[in-house]
């Protein structure tokens, strides 16, 4: 199937071909025609599936065909809400790229940077606004945005927004939007909170779902390397050096852990940078740019900071520590093997983490192969220490930190949509197991 057959206009087809895409991804094939028809969408898809183009391309087309493009003073007609600054920046970049040949204007607003330049752009007028909820409300408070003419609302990574405690902000934003509009909701998981939000918000939505990396997983090889905790750093340096990996994304559980590991890798002579919520926006952008350009070989990240990172052809993801929430493992490994490329996800697992590993394998519904690296065999006399199940690393934006003692913590992580759909009894088993945490 080609992009041409999806009914997209010439300017968009041109942008797509300039980007080098030869055919639409499954989510694009499903979502684009439905969105062009004006349907509301409930999309089960995470980053890495091509969902951004899946909603951006038809959104741009609909704005063009609604007639008011380029006439009179511009009003915000499309609003895209995302949980993190990184994702907001990436969605905004996609809007810019795909809309390159159209006379539409867009901008992005997120916290952690000065509000005034954002205000000036908004006051000049934009058709499309990409925003994180908190900063959007700051603009509402300062009267720099008018949301009364929004025709299309996109909630991207809705589950993450709820996990990060944005539900009240989202409700406030929704109250400012016209009742009559097209709404597109994307979420990797469908908890009862998401379903409730969707029920209130969506009008006979079309359900669009694509196989997730963890289920398909044909392009991501997963492996567990059992190792003692105090030898993980050494093993990581060994793996990077002996395999001559050029670009590795490494996950730690805490911001402090990310900083420490990055510093230790530097002392091992491996160029590294840490990316997490306590870093300034400038530092995060620079770390990501250095990583993409190859200046930095290893990017050490916490879960929230890495969410939505769009790095083409990222071949290696390492879980230096397993996440407390099994769901996050799927998000992490979704960073590799994207858009048809091969990827490898390794987990360095010590005896304390075996319970977390079991949770992940239960969610994946299969075991991950174990491979003990010669010279790093775990010491059998070391006993497991209990792991603190609280989310040690809280997400970004310190100013809004208090809100982010997550709803995920209160209700436990939810299984992905395909798991929910499988069977009622399985679902209640998973949920009661999670509630028991
Ligand atoms: P997303 O899920 O939107 O974050 O997209 C994941 C990655 O796939 C991004 O790097 C996109 O540039 C890329 N991508 C999106 N659509 C296509 C396509 N039709 N063909 C190839 N790559 C794509």
pLDDT tens-digit map of 283-294: 888 888 898 888
Token pair listed for 206: 């079309």
What confidence tier does 74 reach under pLDDT thresholds 50, 70, 90? confident
387 alpha carbon – ligand 1 mean position (Å): 37
pLDDT exceeds 50 at position 425 = no
Q: Does a structural domain hold residue 405?
A: no
| 230 and 201 fall within a common domain | no
Specify the DSSP element, H or E, that contains 224.
strand 220-226
Closest residue by Cα to residue 301 from 265, 349, 347, 251: 251
Tell me the mean pLDDT in the region 316-323: 94
Tell me the mean pLDDT in the region 354-369: 89
Ligand 1 atom with the shortest distance to the CA of 52 = 3
Of the spans 49-53, 258-262, 315-319, 395-399, which averages the highest pLDDT? 258-262
Q: Does a structural domain hold residue 26?
A: yes
Question: Do strands 343-349 and 248-251 pair parallel, antiparallel, or not at all (unpaired)?
Answer: unpaired
| 297 and 170 fall within a common domain | no
What confidence tier does 159 reach under pLDDT thresholds 50, 70, 90? confident
Question: Considering 183, 209, 235, which residue would you say is the last residue of a domain?
Answer: 209
257 alpha carbon – ligand 1 mean position (Å): 31
18 alpha carbon – ligand 1 mean position (Å): 13
pLDDT exceeds 60 at position 405 = no
Compute φ and ψ for 94, nearest 5 degrees.
Answer: -65, -40
365 alpha carbon – ligand 1 mean position (Å): 27
Least confident of 204-208, 273-277, 303-307, 352-356: 303-307
Q: Does a structural domain hold residue 437?
A: no
What confidence tier does 350 reach under pLDDT thresholds 50, 70, 90? very high
pLDDT exceeds 80 at position 73 = no
Tell me the per-residue pLDDT of 31-72, one tens digit each, with 9 for 90 and over: 999 999 999 999 987 667 789 999 999 999 999 988 655 556
Question: Considering 351, 368, 387, which residue would you say is the last residue of a domain?
Answer: 387
* Ligand 1 and 244: CB distance under 6 A: no
Looking at ligand 1, which residue's alpha carbon is closest to its atom 21?
21
| 182 and 225 fall within a common domain | no
pLDDT of residue 424: 30
What percent of the chain clears pLDDT 90, i.e. is strictly above it? 52
Higher-scoring residue by pLDDT: 371, 421: 371
Q: Does a structural domain hold residue 67?
A: yes
pLDDT of residue 418: 34
pLDDT exceeds 80 at position 196 = yes
| 30 and 96 fall within a common domain | yes
Q: Is 404 helix (H, G, I), strand (E, B) or coil?
A: helix
Q: Which domain holds residue 245?
A: 220-387
Q: Does a structural domain hold residue 204?
A: yes
List all residues 6 or more positions away from 281 whose beta carbon is below 8 Å from its beta carbon: 85, 110, 112, 113
pLDDT of residue 232: 96
What confidence tier does 400 reach under pLDDT thresholds 50, 70, 90? very low
What confidence tier does 128 reach under pLDDT thresholds 50, 70, 90? very high
| 263 and 374 fall within a common domain | yes
| Contact between 60 and 95 (Cβ < 8 Å) | yes
pLDDT of residue 389: 54
Ligand 1 atom with the shortest distance to the CA of 22 = 20
pLDDT exceeds 70 at position 98 = yes
pLDDT of residue 340: 56
Q: How many helices (H) and strands (E) does the chain have?
A: 19, 13
pLDDT of residue 307: 66
Tell me the mean pLDDT in the region 308-335: 81
Tell me the mean pLDDT in the region 78-107: 95
Tell me the mean pLDDT in the region 169-174: 96
Number of independent structural domains in the chain: 2
| 164 and 289 fall within a common domain | no
| 115 and 194 fall within a common domain | yes
| 258 and 365 fall within a common domain | yes
Query: Could you tell me the CA-to-CA distances from 261 to 252, 275, 298, 320 in Å, in that order?
Result: 8, 11, 10, 9
428 alpha carbon – ligand 1 mean position (Å): 34
Q: What is the average pLDDT score of the chain? A: 82
CA dihedral sign, ordered 151, 190, 399, 333: negative
Q: Does a structural domain hold residue 285?
A: yes
Higher-scoring residue by pLDDT: 389, 158: 158
Tell me the mean pLDDT in the region 197-217: 73
pLDDT of residue 33: 95
Q: How many angstroms separate the CA atoms of 409 and 413, rounded?
A: 7
Q: Is 437 helix (H, G, I), strand (E, B) or coil?
A: coil
**Among 53, 97, 314, which residue has the most ligand 1 atoms within 8 Å of its CB, making it the best to mutate?**
53
* Ligand 1 and 49: CB distance under 6 A: yes
pLDDT of residue 240: 92
410 alpha carbon – ligand 1 mean position (Å): 33
């Amino acid at each position: 199937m080609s992009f041409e057959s999806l009914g997209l206009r010439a300017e968009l087809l041109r942008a797509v071909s300039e980007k080098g895409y030869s055919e639409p991804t499954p989510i694009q094939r499903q979502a684009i025609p439905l969105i062009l028809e004006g349907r509301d969408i409930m999309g089960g898809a995470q980053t890495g599936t091509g969902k951004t183009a899946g909603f951006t391309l038809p959104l741009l087309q609909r704005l063009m065909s609604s007639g008011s493009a380029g006439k009179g003073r511009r009003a915000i007609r499309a609003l895209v809400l995302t949980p993190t600054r990184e994702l907001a920046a990436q969605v905004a970049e996609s809007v810019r790229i795909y809309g390159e040949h159209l006379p539409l204007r867009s901008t992005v607003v997120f916290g952690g940077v000065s509000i005034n330049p954002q205000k000036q752009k908004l006051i000049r007028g934009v058709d499309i606004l990409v925003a994180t909820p908190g900063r959007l409300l700051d603009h509402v408070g300062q009267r720099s945005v008018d949301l009364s003419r929004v025709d299309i609302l996109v909630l991207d990574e809705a589950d993450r927004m709820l996990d990060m405690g944005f539900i009240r902000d989202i409700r406030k934003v929704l109250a400012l939007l016209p009742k009559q509009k097209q709404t597109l909701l994307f979420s990797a998981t469908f908890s009862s909170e998401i379903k409730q939000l969707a029920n209130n918000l969506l009008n006979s939505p079309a359900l669009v779902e694509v196989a997730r990396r963890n289920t398909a997983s044909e392009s991501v090889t997963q492996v567990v390397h059992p190792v003692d905790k105090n030898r993980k750093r050494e093993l990581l340096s060994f793996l990077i050096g002996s395999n001559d990996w050029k670009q590795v994304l490494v996950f730690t559980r805490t911001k402090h852990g990310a900083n420490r590991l990055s510093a230790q890798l530097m002392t091992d002579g491996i160029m590294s940078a840490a990316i997490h919520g306590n870093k300034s926006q400038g530092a995060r952008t620079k770390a990501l740019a250095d990583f993409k350009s190859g200046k930095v070989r290893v990017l050490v990240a916490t879960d929230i900071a890495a969410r939505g990172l769009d790095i083409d052809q990222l071949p290696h993801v390492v879980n230096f520590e397993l996440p407390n929430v099994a769901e996050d493992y799927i998000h992490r490994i979704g960073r590799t093997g994207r858009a048809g490329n091969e990827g490898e996800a390794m987990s360095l697992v010590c005896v304390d983490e075996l319970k977390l590993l079991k949770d992940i394998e239960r969610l994946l519904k299969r075991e991950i192969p174990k491979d003990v690296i010669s010279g790093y065999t775990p010491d059998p006399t070391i006993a497991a220490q209990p792991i603190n199940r609280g989310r040690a690393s809280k997400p970004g934006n310190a100013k809004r930190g208090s809100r982010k003692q997550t709803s995920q913590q209160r209700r436990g992580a939810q299984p992905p949509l395909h798991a929910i759909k499988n069977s009622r009894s399985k679902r209640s088993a998973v949920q009661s197991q999670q509630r028991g945490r």
